[in-house]
Amino acid sequence: MRFTSTALALAAALTTADAAYKGFNYGAFFGNNAAKQYTDFKYEFEAAKTLPGTNGQFTSARLYTMIQHGTTKDPISAIQAAIDTKTSLLLGIWASATTPSGAQTVINNELAAFQAAIDKYGSSFTNLIAGISVGSEDLYRITPTAAKNGEKNPGTQPADLAKYVNQVKSFRDKTSLLKGKLVGHVDTWTAYVNGTNKAVVDTLEFLGVDAYPFWETEHANAIGNGKTLFYDAYNQVKAKAQGKPIWITETGWPVSGPTQGQAVANTANAKTYWNAVACQLIKDNVNLWYYTLQDVQYANPSPSFGVKPGGDLKAVKPLFDLTCPNSAKFRF
């Protein structure tokens, strides 16, 4: 049957205004500590949009910082790349430092870069903002588990992190172009269910959740349990979220690397996890930033989570089929 103008309008509405954000995570530098530049971000954002099997749905990017790597407070070049590729942004405000005074300096510099970007790009930038995340796994990093796992980045105490969230909310409220933009935090699901972190949850407008069944070696974490473990984590966070939105800011299954507990890293299992978790989140219209499009070049990470081959910037074909089973199609 031919599409009518009404049908086309409905299809457009369902695929744009009502659709959740879908994207990947993007760091500010390569594995050799070289800063990503405009051309690097532009390539990545365009590559995400043209991934075979995804119907061009991955049009959002999660950033970890507002600051161009190697500078003190220059706006990250990903912003210009996002404007030029029409990529929405879950912005990141880095909030971790070895001392609270040091972290406050980091926050001040992040907000200076944020303001500079607003001054330079105006609504061309702010209209792309999906939300603003203050910090990334800062609460996890202060736990014994993080120390046991060899975490090198310093974390942030709950009271300090809550203060930084409120500072960013105040910055938002004083900036007319940021009206309606939600301010939240990204952390492991275990951080949110820890009652000692309630002061942080109280300040948030959304909870960004990182959940990886692959790492949950204290459970039976074979790929067949991946979906169950993920949604167990999701539901535990939901119980602590005070009715606030839950955004999935990191999840994935590695395509290669050492086994963790019962979890085996390979492309077949990565595809299984994609089908079971990513496709379910897409179907349920949950904001999702998957980990990850392409692992940091030159780093040779192990395990590797990239859905595209690492080290090959021009690779088009993903390492496994990203088509969701029984993908919804408009029928008129």
Catalytically annotated residues: 137, 250
In terms of Cβ atoms closer than 10 Å to its own Cβ (0-12, 13-18, 19+), residue 164 is: buried
Structure tokens at 7: 């049908």
Q: What is the residue type of 27?
A: G
Nearest residue to 231 via CA among 281, 181, 192: 281
CA distances to 159, 258, 307, 320, 327 from 301, rounded to whole Å, are 34, 11, 13, 18, 32
Q: CA neighbours within 13 Å on the CB side: how many for 275? A: 13
What is the length of the chain? 332
How many Cα atoms occupy the beta-carbon half-sphere of 72 within 13 Å? 4
